[in-house]
Amino acid sequence: MTTTTAAPAATPTAWQRQGVTDLPDEKLQRIDKWWRAANYLSVGQIYLLDNPLLREPLSRDHVKPRLLGHWGTTPGLTFLYAHLNRAIQERRQSTIYVTGPGHGGPGLVASAYLDGTYSEVYSDITQDAQGLQRLFKQFSFPGGIPSHVAPETPGSIHEGGELGYALSHAYGAAFDNPDLLVAAVVGDGEAETGPLATSWHSNKFVNPAQDGVVLPILHLNGYKIANPTVLARIPQEELRDLMVGYGHKPYFFEVEDGSTESHLDIHRRFAALLDEVLDEIAAIKQRAADGDTSRPAWPMIVFRTPKGWTGPETIDGKKTVGSWRAHQVPLASARDTEEHLRVLEQWLRSYRPEELFDADGRVIEDVSALAPTGTLRMSDNPHANGGLLLKDLRLPDFRDYAVDVPHPGGAVAEAPRVLGQWLTDVVRLNPHNFRIFGPDETASNRLQAVYDATDKQWDAEFLDAAVDEHLARAGRVMEMLSEHQCQGWLEGYLLTGRHGLFNCYEAFIHIVDSMFNQHAKWLKVTNDIPWRRPIASLNYLLSSHVWRQDHNGFSHQDPGFIDHVLNKKAEIVRVYLPPDANTLLSTYDHCLRSRQYVNVVVSGKQPSPQYLTMDEAIAHCTRGLGIWEWAGTEVPGKDPDVVLACAGDVPTLEVLAAADILRRELPDLKVRVINVVDLMRLQDEKEHPHGLSDREFDTLFTTDKPVIFAYHGYPWLIHRLTYRRHGHQNIHARGYKEEGTTTTPFDMVMLNDLDRYHLVIDVIDRVPSLRSKAAGLRQEMQDARLRARAWTREHGEDIPEVRDWVWPDVGETATEAGGPQYNGGGAPGGGVQDTGGDNE
C-alpha cells in the first residue's frame, strides 16, 4: 500500500535456510513484549473509550457503552504474527497473513499499528496517547471500523467474517507468486465447514517451482461460540493421520490450558519449530528449482492454545480461559458492574503497559524493533493491496476472431467455442498473470481451445498419458469439482493483483452465492478506501444455462444468480446477456479490461444463429441495447404498434421467430424489436451508472405501447428493473417460471410460455387493434403449440418447422436462402444433445 511516510528500503530474499537456533533471551523477551503489546491493544479496542494507557484508575466512563468484538482467538493470532515478524526480519521472506478466524480483528489492527503501517495509512491514528485513544474508540463503534479483519485493515485480503475460505484465498494468492509465503491461519471452527475441508486439497494444484507457498496453521483453541470443535476433540494421532491424508506433513505445537510454563519458554519452543518448518519449505523450493517435479508433503502447523489465552481465568466463578465463554466479550458487564470493571482493569494491567509505551504513549523501540521494515511488513506487503501490482492484460484484438455473418441469422456458431479461441491467445500473451478457473467444465462449456496454449495444472499423480489429457505440473487452467474452491482461488488471485475468469454451469454458480456476497462487499468498501488500489474484476462466464439442459433436466435449470447479483450495489455489479458470438467477444474484451466490478456474462454453449457482424456487435455492445431495424416492421416517422424486447440468446431466437410470424401473417402491424445486452441499461440512470434516462427509455420502449419482453431468467426481474418507468404498466415479461424437465429445447421454452407461438399470442392479446381481428391467427398459434408438443412426445426431438427455422435473408424465404452457414456443429433451432460433460 502507499504509505504517507518513507519507510526503510526492504529487499525480499526468498527461501533462505538458516538452521534452527536457540534464540537468546533478549530476542525472546522482545517477542514477548510485542505479543503483550498486541494483546493489550486488542483488549483496549474491545473495551476502552478513553484512558488508553491506564494513567488513572479505570472508571465506567472509560468503558464503551456497547461491548462488541471477539477475544477468544485473538491472542493466538497475535502470537503467530509476532513470531512471523521475527522470521521475516531474519530471513527477509515476503509474507502475507491470511486470518481464517477473521473475527480476531482487534489482533490484526493491533499488529498493523505496532508495525507502524496503520498510522501511515490513517494519519489521525497517531503513535501517541491521543492516537491510541482513537484506535480504541473506533473499533466496532459508529463511524469507526468493523470488528473483523476487514478491507480497512492493512495487510488483509481475507475478512473471515464468513468462515471456510481462508485456504482457498491463500492458495489463490500463492499461484504465480513464486517468492511469496502465505501464512494461513485456519480456525478450528472454520475447519468444520465444507469449503475448508475441501480446500486442504489445494496442495495438489501447487507447482513448487512457479508458485508460492502456503503454510497452513490450524489454530485449535477448542471452542466455537458455544460448543467444542471437532478437530480439538479427536486424538492427536487421528488428527495427524487426517493431515497426512490430505498430503501435509504436520508439526504439532501445544500450550496446555493452565500450563505453568513461562512465556519465554513457550516462545523459545515455537521459534524453533517455525525455523524448522521454514527451512523445510526452503529445501522443497530448492529441490524444485533443481528440477524435482514430484509433489512434496508440504509442512503445516497444528497450533493448540487455550481459548482466550492470557485473559481472566475465571469470571463470576466460572471458567473462562480455555472455554467457550472467552469467545466474544468475556466481561460483558464491565461498564455496569464494579466487579467486572475491576477484573477488566486487572486484565489490562497484567500486560504491564508501562513497560511497552513511553510517557507520550508511543510504542517503545524495543517492541517496535521486532517489525520488519518497509514492504516486508505483513501489513504493508504489496501483495495484500493487489492493485499496486496489477498490470493490464495484453489482449489480442477480438475482432480478428469474428464469426462471418453475411446477413442476420446467416451463420451458426457456438459462442463460447469462439470465445475460447480468443482466450487461447489471451493465455499466450499473459503467461504469468491470467488463469481460467472452473469446476471440471472448461471443455464442457466449449472453451477447450485454450488447451492449444496451456494445460490444466495438476500436481497429484499422473497415469496413462493417453487418458490424462491436458494435465501438467504447470498450466493456466485450474479445475477442481468444487465451485467454492474455484471461487476462492480466483478471489485470492485477483486480490493479489492478477486477472482471471470463472466458467461454470449456470444452475450451480448458486453454490458460491455467499462468497460472491463477501467479494462484492469487499469491492464496495474498498472503493471508499483511498490507499486500496483497484483490482481486476471478478468475471463469470455462465454457460450450460437454463434453456439448454436436454439431458440434465430440472435439477440443472436455475437462472436466479442474476437476481442474487443485482441485490448488490449498482457501482459494483454488471450483467451481460450477449445474443451471439460476436457480441460475446466484444463483451468479454470489455470485462477483462475492467476494474472493481463483478461481471456476470451468460452465454449458451449450443449451436445458435448469429445475427450481427463484428462492427454491428461492437456498436450494439457499446449502446448496451438497441433496435434491430432489420427484424422489425416499423414505418419511419410512426410509432410502433408493439415492442418485442429480448435479453438472452434463446429469448432472442424466440422473439425473432415470433417477429417472422408477425411479418408474414400481420404485414400491416408495426413491430419494433429491441435486444438488450447490458441488463443494467433497463434501470433508471439514477439507480445504476449504466441506466438509461427516462427520455431514452421512453423513446425506445414508448410510454403507451405494449412491450412483450422475452427474458433469459425469472421474468419478475424485468419488472423490478423497470418499475419506475412511465410505461411500466405496459410491460409484459416472459421468462423462466420454474417449469422444466428433461426435454427438447423448444418444449422447454413452451413449458415456460417463452416460445414464439405464445409470444405471438401475447401480441394479439395486448395490441388493441388486433384481438378479435386476429382470432384466427391466435388459434393457429395455439394449435402450433399442441402440434409441437405432440411431435416431441412421439419423435423425441423438436418439430422440423422449429428445428430448421432460420431468420430469412432479405427478400427470401428460409428455404430459398438455403439455411445458415455452419460454424461449429448442430442445428440452429435446437435438438443437439449436449455431450460435453456434466458437473454433478
pLDDT at 120: 97
Residue 504 resides in a domain: yes
Q: Judge whether residue 813 has pLDDT over 70.
A: no
Do 630 and 595 sit in the same domain of this protein? no
Three-state SS at 235:
coil
Q: At what angle do helices 74-91 and 263-289 cross, to 10 degrees?
A: 50
Cell triple for 822: 455452419
CB-side neighbour CA atoms (13 Å) of 65: 2
Do 539 and 642 sit in the same domain of this protein? no
What is the distance between the alpha carbons of residues 94 and 116, in angstroms, rounded to a whole number?
Answer: 17
Q: What is the mean pLDDT of residues 777-795?
A: 96
Do 464 and 548 sit in the same domain of this protein? yes
Q: What is the CATH number of the domain that holds 761?
A: 3.40.50.920
Residue 11 resides in a domain: no
Q: Which residues contact 299 (CB under 8 A, 6 or more apart)?
A: 215, 248, 249, 250, 251, 277, 280, 281
- Helices then strands, counting H and E runs in the chain, come out as 25, 23
Do 695 and 767 sit in the same domain of this protein? yes
Q: CB of 36 within 8 A of CB of 47?
A: no
| % of the chain surpassing 90 pLDDT | 86
Q: Which residues contact 517 (CB under 8 A, 6 or more apart)?
A: 162, 568
> CB burial class (10 A; 0-12, 13-18, 19+) of residue 29?
middle
Do 97 and 229 sit in the same domain of this protein? yes
Q: Judge whether residue 552 has pLDDT over 80.
A: no
Residue 564 resides in a domain: yes
Q: What is the mean pLDDT of residues 175-193?
A: 97
Residue 1 resides in a domain: no
pLDDT tens per residue across span 596-638 = 999 999 999 999 999 999 999 999 999 999 999 999 999 998 9
pLDDT at 810: 56
Across the chain, mean pLDDT equals 92
Do 571 and 656 sit in the same domain of this protein? no
Residue 609 resides in a domain: no
Cell triple for 366: 524495543
Q: Judge whether residue 151 has pLDDT over 50.
A: yes
Number of compact structural domains in the chain: 3
pLDDT tens per residue across span 78-103 = 999 999 999 999 999 999 999 999 88
Residue 7 resides in a domain: no
Do 560 and 685 sit in the same domain of this protein? no
Q: What is the mean pLDDT of residues 660-676?
A: 97
Q: What is the CATH number of the domain that holds 113?
A: 3.40.50.970
Do 368 and 463 sit in the same domain of this protein? no
Residue 149 resides in a domain: yes
The residues facing 218 across adjacent strands are 186, 302
CA distances to 208, 458, 500 from 438, in Å: 22, 14, 11
Do 109 and 258 sit in the same domain of this protein? yes
Do 140 and 273 sit in the same domain of this protein? yes
Residue 822 resides in a domain: no
Do 514 and 460 sit in the same domain of this protein? yes
Do 279 and 331 sit in the same domain of this protein? yes
pLDDT tens per residue across span 817-836 = 334 443 433 333 433 333 33
pLDDT tens per residue across span 557-580 = 788 899 999 999 999 999 999 999
Q: Kindly report the CA angle at 648 between 593 and 683, in degrees rounded to 5?
A: 70
pLDDT tens per residue across span 725-749 = 998 999 999 999 988 888 899 999 9
In order, the DSSP letters of 396-435 are --GGGGPPP-SSTT-EEE-HHHHHHHHHHHHHHH-TTTEE
pLDDT tens per residue across span 692-725 = 999 999 999 999 999 999 999 999 999 999 999 9
Q: Judge whether residue 814 has pLDDT over 90.
A: no
> Which domain covers residue 273, as residue numbers?
27-385
